[in-house]
């Protein structure tokens, strides 16, 4: 289904835990913080989770997060397949895409991991992409930000507000954000090098263990990081990942040695990885030309061929040529008709051609097989709205939101459905929830007051009043949290 795009803004890596010293690997390992040192005395896990929730609301409001069910589901499944093999997981992880061609990924308080679209474009296989996610997961499970702050408390008092302020500054300028963070935390250059290098090594070590235990090739880490370092060795402005995660020769050698000590895996190519990469290429980064995609679609390599055909179908669809898109998609559907990437594009083709009954029948069958699956459900709801089946869309979305209450796209679709049904109270109430998830508690409260004026139902009025009180409490908590 079509994506909801926000204004472009660059987001810095919150894992600003990097360094460039060349101390021997053995010496570095001897100085790694003990695994039991988790910063619990400095900040509770619950407070960390609350700060993460607060920050994520700011990210939703300001960063170009991609609301793309097919890509979101792929990233969530890949990320959670790694989390299931990680230790010290204290809360659910949330993975999301940032529409940014820079090669980068980042993690912050509360288990939030963001991935730039440029990263999957650089990765050659799923093990390489998983290696980066495993590294970021390790930053979170080892509480590196909290531990770094705990170390700095000895030299200078800090505030969470200063930290988050520097992080938000980094959305506009990664280098400025890093400078602000270091200033806020009172870092000397030497202490920055000593500790951040150790945290990067710890994240490499733990992340590679998670990678291998989850069934991916541990060589994905040195292959990706080594190629990245070599590619940008003499470039004056390297990609953000090398600014926030420097790759000195010692670190690359360490990851390569670690991978060689592990059992190598001959991991089968992932079709979903190639389709996710093709979708990013066709719709977001547009890094391949039409002729390049056409050449891929004629390749004898089955994965390259499917990449090319799928990307061409999306390009044609986005250009308003549903018939051409259907031609590109047809051989893919014949091969794997239930693939969710293909289902998403097929739905949009049918909607563009105003073949609403066919779209609804297609999705109804898919929903019966996979009820509440995000790609199926959100496409089904969107098709129902376009077909004028508003009650169906509302039922689908309300049921979906019972289990996914922080899903912005579902809330936006439900707001649209209520608007078309002329249920003004429900429309304003749902819009308030979406605004609250973007950190705009005051406007959310205003929307609930407006909803209050569009109903005389006592039960609805009581619910609205209770929610207003909850949002006021959240607003106060957010103000006091920093």
CB contact burial 115-126 (16+ within 10 A = b; e otherwise): bbbbbbbbbebb
Choice among 53, 204, 344, 433 that is catalytic: 204
What's 406's DSSP letter? Answer: T
Q: Please measure the distance between the N-terminal and C-terminal CA atoms of the chain and give it in whole angstroms.
A: 38
Distance (Å) of CA 320 to CA 314, 323, 384, 442 = 10, 9, 20, 39
Residue 289 to residues 268, 281, 304, 336, 402, Cα–Cα distance (Å): 28, 10, 15, 26, 42
Q: In degrees rounded to 5, what are phi and psi of residue 113?
A: -130, 120
Distance CA 222, CA 266 (A): 16
Q: How far is CA 188 from CA 15, 77, 191, 339, 375, in A?
A: 18, 40, 5, 52, 48
Yes or no: say if 414 and 401 are a contact pair by the CB < 8 Å rule. yes
How far apart are alpha carbons 74 and 85 in whole angstroms? 18
> Is 204 among the catalytic positions?
yes
Edge-to-edge strand ranges of the sheet holding 112-116: 94-98, 112-116, 105-108
State whether the Cα torsion 384-386-391-395 is positive or negative. positive
Within 281-407, residue ranges assigned H as helices are 290-297, 302-318, 322-335, 340-352, 356-369, 374-386, 390-403
Rounded distance between C-alpha atoms, residue 424 and residue 145, angstroms = 44
Place of tokens 């508690």: 441
Q: Which ranges of 20-111 would DSSP assign to H, the alpha helix?
A: 25-30, 45-62, 69-83
For residue 242, how many other CB atoms are within 10 A of its CB? 20
Which of left, alpha, beta for 215 (phi over 0: left; psi -120 to 50: alpha)? left
> 285: closest CA among 68, 119, 408, 172?
119
- On the CB side of 335, CA atoms within 13 Å amount to 14
State yes or no: 200 annotated in a binding site: yes
Q: What distance lies between CA 85 and its chain's CA centroid?
A: 19
DSSP annotation of 270 reads P
Ligand-binding site membership of 407 (annotated): no
Locate tokens 């890094």: which residue? 287
Q: Annotated binding residue at 452?
A: no
8 Å CB contact between 73 and 340: yes
Of the residues 72, 136, 344, 348, only one is catalytic, namely 136
The binding site comprises 135, 139, 200
The binding site for Zn(2+) comprises 135, 139, 200
Which residues are marked as active site? 136, 204
């Amino acid at each position: 289904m079509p994506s909801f795009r926000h204004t472009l803004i660059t987001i810095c890596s919150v894992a600003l835990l990097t360094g460039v010293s060349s101390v021997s690997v053995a010496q570095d390992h001897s100085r790694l913080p003990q695994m039991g040192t988790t910063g619990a005395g400095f900040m509770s896990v619950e407070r960390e989770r609350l700060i993460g929730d607060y920050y994520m609301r700011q990210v939703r409001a300001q960063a170009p997060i991609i609301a793309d069910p097919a890509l979101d589901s792929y990233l969530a499944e890949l990320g959670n397949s790694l989390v299931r093999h990680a230790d010290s997981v204290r809360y659910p992880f949330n993975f999301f895409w940032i529409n940014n061609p820079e090669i980068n990924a980042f993690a912050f308080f509360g288990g939030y991991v963001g991935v730039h679209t440029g990263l999957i474009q650089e990765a050659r296989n799923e093990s390489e992409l998983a290696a980066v996610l495993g590294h970021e997961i390790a930053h979170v499970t080892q509480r590196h930000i909290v531990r770094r702050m705990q170390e700095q408390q000895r030299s200078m008092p800090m505030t969470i507000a200063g930290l988050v302020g520097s992080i938000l500054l980094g959305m506009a300028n990664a280098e400025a954000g890093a400078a602000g963070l270091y200033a806020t935390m009172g870092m000397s250059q030497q202490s920055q090098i000593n500790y951040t290098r150790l945290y990067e090594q710890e994240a490499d070590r733990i992340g590679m263990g998670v990678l291998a235990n989850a069934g991916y090739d541990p060589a994905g880490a040195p292959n990706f990081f080594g190629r990245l370092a070599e590619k940008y060795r003499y470039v004056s402005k390297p990609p953000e990942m090398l600014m926030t995660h420097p790759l000195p020769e010692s670190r690359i050698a360490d990851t390569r040695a670690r991978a060689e000590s592990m059992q190598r895996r001959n991991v089968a190519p992932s079709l979903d990885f190639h389709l996710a990469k093709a979708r990013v290429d066709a719709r977001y980064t547009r890094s391949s030309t039409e002729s390049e995609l056409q050449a891929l679609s004629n390749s004898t390599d089955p994965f390259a061929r499917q990449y090319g055909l799928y990307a061409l179908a999306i390009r044609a669809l986005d250009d308003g040529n549903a018939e051409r898109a259907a031609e590109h998609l047809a051989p893919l559907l014949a091969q794997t008709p239930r693939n969710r990437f293909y289902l998403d594009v097929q739905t949009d083709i049918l909607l563009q051609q105003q073949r609403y009954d066919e779209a609804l029948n297609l999705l109804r069958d898919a929903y019966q097989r996979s009820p509440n699956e995000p790609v199926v459900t959100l496409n089904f709801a969107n098709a129902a709205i376009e077909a004028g089946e508003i009650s169906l869309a509302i039922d689908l979305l309300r049921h979906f939101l019972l289990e996914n209450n922080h899903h912005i796209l579902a809330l936006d679709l439900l707001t649209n459905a209520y608007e078309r049904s002329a249920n003004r109270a429900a429309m304003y109430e749902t819009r308030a929830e979406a605004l609250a998830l973007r950190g705009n508690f005051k406007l959310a409260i205003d929307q609930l007051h407006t909803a209050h004026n569009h109903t005389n139902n006592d039960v609805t009025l009581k619910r609205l009043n209770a929610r207003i009180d909850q949002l006021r409490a959240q607003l106060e908590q957010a103000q006091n949290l920093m």
